[in-house]
Structure 1
Amino acid sequence: MLSAERNETLTRFGPGTPMGELMRRYWYPVAISADLPVRDLRKVRLLGEDLVLYRLSNGSVHLHEDRCPHRGTALSYAIVESQGLRCAYHGWLFDGTGACLEQPGEPADSTFADKVRVKTYPVEELGGLVFAYLGPQPTPTLPRYDLFCWDDAIRDIGHTIVPCNFVQIMENAVDLDHVAWLHGRYSEWLNSRGLPVEIPKTFSRLNREVRFDSTDYGILMRRQLEGQDASAEDWSIGHPLVFPNMLRLGGGGSFGFHLRVPIDDENTWVLWYTAYRPGGLPVPAPGPITSYDVPWRLPDGDFRLDHVEGQDIMAWVTQGRIADRTRERLGTVDRGVIMLRQMLFDQAERVRQGHDPMGVFRGPGSDRVIDLPQEVEKFGEGTGFVRDFLEAAHAKFSTRKPEIVRRYAEVGLDLGIAP
């Protein structure tokens, strides 16, 4: 368990807090590129800060504080013009750098506009996502993790907002024992009680042994399932948690990033970014990177438990908006959770001492593509993992599911799913 003071430190991300200062050293997705058309704007909230994101007619994307410096009106209700945002209240115009270009109510010879700026943050697009950085200067390099840079795979992005703290979602990423119980045995039990749940067969085997290793990028997680030996890729390769907010996962020709974005202390934007290379082969003409919503609520407000992510979200949200870790009782099965928490505290201390935390890239060569390890034969089931992924997990909601199934068939891999 944690003391109330330590739990407070762990879960607060506002400016000036220990975790808030740590988390502001990293880039986060704030939008899906395809969902932000030209001349569009949207309100964004990240790490407890209210922001406005917009795209100009030249395709460039910009991010400002959601507050006009004149009278404080929200710029998320502004007019998008060719040069930038014009505040709806009095018509002040700001360009993408934050400079004030026009103040219609001021005298023609006034230089007042030269003294006014709106706070602006760096943004970059990569792999179909818009990333933002809220931290101090100089701005670090946006990491070019491999899947974001592939152009020969079918890529899509599932996403939803989850009403709970970021940390309890990340703790799930290093909890290897929950898979067989929450997604295997629990699905079987729900099915036996008449809830039509597609049981993910490859998720039902218990762990024989698990291991967590600290790496330069976070934590490498490995497992041996019952019936496996040390040659199994789940043990010999494993998969990583990329500190502070990303899990790498996949198998059978699917490769994924689970990204968790702290909106504020009590809400998290969760994204499932997947790249498909059936048989490990490049895909000709893979098409655009699309997005889809992942539903997890029923009409009556209860949890939707007929897919893996719905079950995960139930486990996260029922801990409370911010989990009370003073009441928990951790066992040896939780050593990955303990490691992640200590890593968060340690990296926050590095920032307090004036150093970059782990996973921050700068200087020559920092824009190279970073290849991450991931077992291909997930659970030793080959394409069985992909079948379960498309039938019982978030990918069942993808608008590209029929295309993905067809692509597998074209390379001689029958998933047993009707396209």
Structure 2
Amino acid sequence: MLSKEQNEALTQVDSGKPMGELLRRYWHPIAASTEVEKKGTIKKLKILGEDLVLYRDKSNNLGLVADRCAHRGVSLEYAIPEECGLRCQYHGWLYDKTGQCIDQPNEPEDSTFKNRIKISGYEVKELGGLVFAYMGPSPAPELPKWDLFVQENVVRTIGYAVIPCNWVQIMENSLDPTHLEWLHGHYFEHIFEQQGRPQDEWPITKHHLKIGFDEFEYGIIKRRVLEGQTEENEDWAVGHPIVFPNYLRVGDSGAHSFQIRVPIDETHTLHFWYTCFVPAEGVKVPENYPITFYECPIYDENGKFVTDYIDGQDMMAWITQGPIADRSIERLGTSDRGIIMYRQMLKRELKKIENGEDPKCTIRDPQQNEYIELPQEEDKFSEGGLLSGVAIHWNTRYAPNLSEIIEICKGGVISSNV
């Protein structure tokens, strides 16, 4: 268990708070590129406790600045995009992408007042169909080119949800292998039994014989051995990574996915499911093939959790711990050592930035960043893919075109109409 003070140190993300300062050393996805692909588009958002607007100006450049005009505090969500920035709709003050005021139409021509006016402005870049922001001190590190973001000849989908809980409890779920056999196994059996579904549709639930965790250059490798397996199986021999500080990587030979947890504030998280589907051998995915962007449902029409698909089950578990999990009342067991390891890593990396050092996964060398390949088991559980069977059957209910994409990839035909 943790004290109240220790829990706050892990979960508070505002500027000036220890974890907020650590997270500001990283690039975070904040939107899909399709959300701001049109010139003149403005999207209001909140990241790391800061109210911001993401926009694309008339020169096709992206900017990310504070939501409030420095003049009278009006929201810039309704501002006027110009050739080189964003002009406040109230009195015409113009801000460039750094947040610097560069024009005040109703001030004297020789006035230097605008030179003293600046709102927050942050670096933004696009990669792999996502818009990333860096909100930390200069100089910014490299935007990591993790393999899934730059992999060629794949079909990509991006799911998202705004989850009403703190980001840490979502990440801790990724360091908890045994929830697979219960939340996505026995609980699935219970749900299907309640729905009257035949047992041949139920998942095959196996007991964990062994779990393991190893630190590597970019985070933690998670491993497991299930009943009927040995340590020669890829789920132990290779495993899959948690990329520090807020990515989970899962998948199999047919599809690899990132789950990315971006804190909005202390009690809300912007969650992305970023998946690359690999087409059949010899099939070429057309250049600029469209990326499907969809929202993952949390609740049904009655306000109850949607729990008949894997991501919905996870969200139910995260959210019902409360907006911020009270770790002063938890009772961790031996199966929770991955969670303990992750918390220790967070504390260690906090110490690094306090000492003026770069934290883990800070990449400064462009040559190191050309293509960062992450370890990932391909033969998941040695009995078909993670996205096969019950998981893929139920997830396709909520991701538009996902069934078609999978069939196209299997069948070896790629059409631009998907």
TM-score (normalizing by structure 2):
0.93
Distance 1:374 1:197, change over 3 A: farther
Distance 1:202 1:300 in 2: 26
Corresponding position: 1:8 with 2:3: no
Distance 1:274 1:361 in 2: 23
- What one-letter code is carried by the residue in structure 1 that aligns with 2:11? T
Q: Which residue of structure 1 lines up, in the alignment, with residue 109 of structure 2?
A: 108
Q: Give the match for residue 242 of structure 1.
A: 243
Gap change, CA 1:180 and 1:258, over 3 Å in 2: same
CA contact under 8 A between 2:280 and 2:411: conserved in structure 1?
Answer: no
8 Å CA contact 1:198, 1:391 repeated in 2 = no
Which residue does 1:21 correspond to in 2?
Answer: 21
Rounded to whole Å, the distance in 1 between the matches of 2:330 and 2:13 is 22
Please report how far the alpha carbon of residue 378 of structure 1 lies from its aligned counterpart in structure 2 after TM superposition: 0.9
Aligned residue for 1:339, secondary structure, equals helix
Shift of 1:42: 1.2
- From 370, 373, 392, the equivalent of 1:368 is 370
1:145-165 Cα deviation digits (max 9, x unpaired) = 000002310001011000000
Counterpart contact for 2:30–2:131, Cα < 8 Å:
yes
Matched, 1:308 2:310: yes
Superposition deviation, residue 18 in structure 1: 1.2
**Letter of the aligned partner of 1:218 in structure 2?**
G
Q: Which amino acid aligns with 1:246?
A: Y
Residues 75 and 368 (structure 1), Cα distance of their counterparts in 2 relative to 1, 3 Å cut? same
Alignment of 1:130-169 (within 5 A): 130-169=131-170
In 2, distance between residues paired with 1:383 and 1:363? 35
Which deviates more from structure 2 when the two are superposed, residues 93-102 or residues 262-271? 93-102
One-letter amino acid of the counterpart of residue 357, structure 1:
P
Query: 1:233-275: CA deviations, max 9, x gaps?
Result: 1011100000000000001410110000000000001110000
Tell me, in whole angstroms, the C-alpha distance in 1 between the residues paired with 2:204 and 2:110: 70
Is 1:41 matched up with 2:42?
A: yes
1:344 and 1:280 map into 2 onto residues whose CA distance is 41
- When residues 12 and 194 of structure 1 are mapped into structure 2, their CA distance, relative to the original with a 3 A threshold, is same
Asked if the contact 2:213/2:338 (under 8 Å) is kept, the reply is yes
Q: Which amino acid aligns with 2:2?
A: L
SS of the aligned residue for 2:349 comes to helix
- Offset at 1:364? 4.3
- Per the alignment, in what secondary structure is the counterpart of residue 173 of structure 2? helix
Bigger drift between 203-212 and 328-337 goes to 203-212
Cα pair 2:251 2:386 within 8 Å, conserved: no
Q: Which residues in structure 2 correspond to 1:330-341 (within 5 Å)?
A: 330-341=332-343
Residue identity matched to 2:392: L
| Aligned residue pair count | 412
In structure 2, what residue type is equivalent to 1:253?
G
SS in 2 for 1:212: strand
Moved more, 357-366 or 174-183: 357-366
**CA contact 1:141–1:366 (8 Å) conserved in 2:** no
Change (3 A) 1:249 1:383: closer
Alpha carbons of 1:13 and 1:255: their partners in 2 closer, same or farther (altered >3 Å)?
A: same
Distance in 1 of aligned mates of 2:280 and 2:406: 12
Q: Letter of the aligned partner of 2:97 in structure 1?
A: G
Confirm or deny: 8 A CA contact 2:167 2:261 kept in the other structure.
yes
| Residues 273 and 102 of structure 1: CA distance in aligned 2, closer, same or farther (over 3 Å) | same
Q: Distance in 1 between matches of 2:143 and 2:110?
A: 42
Query: In the alignment, which residue of structure 2 is the partner of 1:415?
Result: none
Structure 1 residue identity aligned to 2:124:
V
Please give the per-residue CA displacement for 1:205-231, whole angstroms capped at 9, x wherever unaligned. Answer: 221111100111110011111101122
**One-letter amino acid of the counterpart of residue 21, structure 1:** E
**What residue ranges of structure 1 are gaps of 5+ in the alignment?**
413-418
Name the amino acid aligned to 1:290. Answer: T
State TM-score, norm by structure 1. 0.93
Q: Retained in 1: the 8 A contact 2:94–2:101?
A: yes
Alignment-derived partner of residue 181 in structure 1 = 182
- Alignment equivalent of 2:393, drawn from 374, 391, 394: 391
Residue 75 (structure 1) shift? 1.6
**Conserved? CA contact 1:52–1:64, under 8 Å:** yes
Q: 1:409: Cα distance to partner?
A: 3.5
Is the Cα contact below 8 Å between 1:156 and 1:291 reproduced in 2? yes
Partner Cα distance (1:185, 1:261) in 2: 30
**Residue deviations 1:168-214, cap 9 Å, x none?**
00000010000110011101111112276999866622211111001
What secondary structure sits across from 1:29 in the alignment?
strand
Conserved 8 A contact 2:134-2:140: yes
Do the aligned residues in 2 keep the contact of 1:199 with 1:392 (CA within 8 Å)? no
User: What is the CA-CA distance between 1:330 and the residue it aligns to?
Assistant: 0.5
User: Is the contact between residue 141 and residue 363 of structure 2 (CA under 8 Å) also seen in structure 1?
Assistant: yes
Q: Distance in 1 between matches of 2:86 and 2:245?
A: 33
Identity of aligned residues (%): 46
Distance (whole Å) between structure 1 residues aligned to residue 367 and residue 198 of structure 2: 47
RMSD: 2.1
The aligned counterpart of 1:217 is 218
Structure 1 Cα separation of the partners of residues 17 and 198 of structure 2: 42
